Structure 1
Amino acid sequence: MSFASPVPETEPPGDCPRCPRLVAFREALRVEYPDWWNAPVPAFGDPDAWLVIVGLAPGKHGANRTGRPFTGDYAGELLFETLSKFGLAKGTYQADPNDGYRLQGVAICNSVKCLPPENKPVPEEIANCRPFLAAQIDSLANARVYVALGQIAHQSAVRTLGGKLAAHKFGHLAEHRMPGGEVLIDSYHCSRYNQNTGRLTRAMFEAVFERALAFRP
């Protein structure tokens, strides 16, 4: 299986031991689904990215299965369609890490690298994984704009970029200026639940990236 990671030297090992609950879940899934990725999912995108999308964690039937962020699940369909629409990707997304689909000027880095039970990481797991997010952000020298998908991603991004949560409240399309001059834009997560309930519409999601493009260098 092949994939494009902008900062491979910042990735955790395939058997990362930091979070016992996630390790146990990973090992159980390796028995149940031996052909799946079932390991920390690496970042994906352009090493020269100016825009970084901060996600939550791998989905069970998406990235945890395929090994590429947002690939193979419902959330990824809207995300990659939107990136393609705005010229931020090249190729045709086919829900397969070997589809040749590439991001242009964009990188995706998750707040938590491993699949959490019920898609809900606990605070300790988020904190355990934050050094990897920080290292990846530090490695993306051209990154100036960040899009956080959901509140957990927002909190991880704010902390990683040196901000204070009390000064930066999460809200869809909220914009935050970080201490280093970076711009952080919030979005509701493009999950199946948010789309099906109408909390997040296609137009709302596209508006986030329209705004991000306004800061393109």
Structure 2
Amino acid sequence: MTTLAELDRRVVDCRACPRLVAWREEVARTKRASFRDQDYWGRPVPGFGPADAAVGVVGLAPAAHGANRTGRMFTGDRSGDVLYAALHAVGLASRPTATHTGDGLELFGVRITAPVKCAPPANKPTPAERDNCRPWLERELALLRPTLRSVVVLGAFGWQALLPVLGAAWAVPVPRPRFGHGVAHELAAVDGGPPLTVFGCYHVSQQNTFTGRLTPAMVEDVLRAAGRTAGIL
């Protein structure tokens, strides 16, 4: 796979994890009552954003009735409402909402992805499912390597999944840096390229946003710092 477009086409055909395949397809069949007239995507969800992105955003996995329904990362659910509103507020997205793949939304210098491409039951993929999906993330980062300068990681699961993958191009300290909201770690390159700065941000889940643990301003602050570090803000 030599381009992100080719990678994305290959991702959607993956059936490596029987539990995830069964769950995503069952959700697509039964649907949520409020979406019963819609056709669900029901497949792995590829990354979203330009192939020359300078900033990466790494989540956890598609939501059952969000990206698993719409086919685009963080689209059609309340987590996405928070994320895209923040991206728009800092100038990294063309609009503050994401409802479906034909809504006209564009990202500016940002690509959103996840270490697990299929919606998992209870939003909890297993370590084996994470590891099965790892080659997709490894290849995606390799293809983004020429332009990628910073990454915002949403939540501890994404942090733990991402850091081992980064070792192919950047020096990850041992012991590995701990996740925390607002933390930033610059990783020196081991392949002769530029360094990468990794930012931590609480996940934009309802559990965090409804309780006030994570506010829109907090998300905007991290995204703004990542954009400035990458030189696109």
| TM superposition score normalised by structure 2 | 0.85
Distance of 1:216 and 1:204 partners within structure 2? 19
2:46 and 2:73 in contact (8 A); partners too = yes
- Quote the residue 2:23 is aligned against: 25
- Quote the residue 1:16 is aligned against: 14
> Structure 1 stretch 24-33 or stretch 137-146: which is displaced more?
24-33
1:92 and 1:100 in contact (8 A); partners too = no
1:161 and 1:179 in contact (8 A); partners too = no
Pairing 1:7–2:14 present: no
Pairing 1:114–2:118 present: yes
Pairing 1:145–2:150 present: yes
Alignment map for 1:28-67 (pairs within 5 Å):
28-33=26-31, 35-67=39-71
Q: In structure 2, what residue type is equivalent to 1:41?
A: V
Shift of 1:165: 6.7
- Quote the residue 2:192 is aligned against: none
Q: RMSD of the alignment, in Å?
A: 1.8
Distance of 1:96 and 1:90 partners within structure 2? 14
- Quote the residue 2:180 is aligned against: 171
Shift of 1:167: 2.4
Shift of 1:31: 2.9
> Structure 1 stretch 27-36 or stretch 174-183: which is displaced more?
27-36
**Structure 1 gap ranges (5+):** 1-5
Shift of 1:121: 0.6
| TM superposition score normalised by structure 1 | 0.91
2:92 and 2:108 in contact (8 A); partners too = yes
Distance of 1:132 and 1:166 partners within structure 2? 25
2:17 and 2:129 in contact (8 A); partners too = yes
> Structure 1 stretch 81-90 or stretch 15-24: which is displaced more?
15-24
Distance of 2:28 and 2:174 partners within structure 1? 37
Shift of 1:107: 0.3
Shift of 1:106: 0.3
Distance 1:58 1:173, change over 3 A: same
**Percentage of pairs with the same residue:** 42
Shift of 1:214: 2.6
Pairing 1:76–2:100 present: no
